[in-house]
Amino acid sequence: MPKPRIAIPVPTSFDAEYNQRSWPQYAKAIELAGGEPVAVPLDELPAATAKLIASCSGVLLPGSGADINTQKFGQQKAPESADPDPLRENVDELLLQDAHNMAKPIFTICFGTQMLNVWRGGSLVQHLTPGAVNHRQRGVSVAHQATIAQHSLLGEVVAEEGVQGGDGMLHLAVNSSHHQAIDTPGDGLRISARSPEDGVVEAIEGTPEGVGGYVLGVQWHPERTYAESAASRALFARFIREAEAWAPKPASAE
């Protein structure tokens, strides 16, 4: 059986060093989980990008050194926000549209999760001021806890690795490397995890009645902890299983 091809856009159009450092981590996690990573360039014509996307059975949106154009969620750019990356945003939107139209599984990480939320009409907190939790701890394997709703897709995926709390929630240790976060969830999306100390949204997912198919987004970086974290491996393994099971819908009879 051929491995499912997973479309992963190049993280940025402006930082080759960042791309060379980060994209291989996503690719390796996909390979170890049983998939075939496919790099999606940011500088191709839309027709060429669409053709490449069509050959894939799943979409992974990675992190980025940019922030999303604030006009897309109706805000003025805050001083702390990084400049947007229009080429990356354009490719992400093509990927999300194709995945939505074809009910392909979607897995998003950090910036990719924010992009998913904005594409679905949601909004973002433009800057998280360090308080009870510092959400921008680059290079730290465990930054804080994420509290996960048990009866959620995310809770189902990490059930064996999460620690059951007395509050009826699952608690999972995660890394953290972001300064923005989900504010209002987009259409057809629901919050499935938060940081318990400050309430910052840590994960969103599709609702069955809202978007259908497999849609899961996390703010942390499981690709960085694939080797040491069973929960990270579970996230990629489930995504690849969903991509393996995906098949194009048959054309309707006329």
Provide the domain limits for residue 10: 5-132+178-245
Among 10-24, 77-91, 205-219, 220-234, the least confident range? 205-219
Among 49, 91, 43, 86, residue whose Cα is nearest residue 67 = 86
Amino acid letter at 185? Answer: P
User: Averaged over 143-161, what is the pLDDT?
Assistant: 91
Conformational region of residue 56, where left means phi above 0, alpha means psi within -120 to 50, and beta covers everything else = beta
Res. 21: pLDDT tops 70: yes
DSSP character at residue 223? G
Residue 25 maps to a domain: yes
- Residue 237's nearest CA partner among 155, 157, 148, 150 is 157
Q: Does residue 146 belong to any structural domain of this protein?
A: no
Q: How far apart are the C-alpha atoms of 244 and 122, rounded to whole Å? A: 29
Residue 36 in any domain: the answer is: yes
Enclosing H/E stretch for 124: strand 124-125
For residue 209, what pLDDT band results from cuts at 50, 70 and 90? confident
What is the model's pLDDT at position 78?
Answer: 96
The string of pLDDT tens digits covering residues 88-106 is 999 999 999 999 999 999 9
Weakest mean pLDDT among 1-15, 71-85, 151-165? 151-165
In a domain? residue 184: yes
Per the structure, how many domains does the chain have? 1
Does some domain include residue 196? yes
Q: Residue 152: inside a domain, yes or no?
A: no
Q: Does residue 162 have a pLDDT over 80?
A: no
Confidence at residue 133, expressed as pLDDT on a 0 to 100 scale: 80
202: left (phi over 0), alpha (psi -120 to 50) or beta: alpha
Tokens of 82: 């990084």
Instruction: Let me know if residue 182 belongs to a domain.
Output: yes
| Average of per-residue pLDDT across 132-149 | 85
Share of the chain above pLDDT 70, in %: 98
In a domain, 185, yes or no: yes
| CATH number for the domain that contains residue 22 | 3.40.50.880
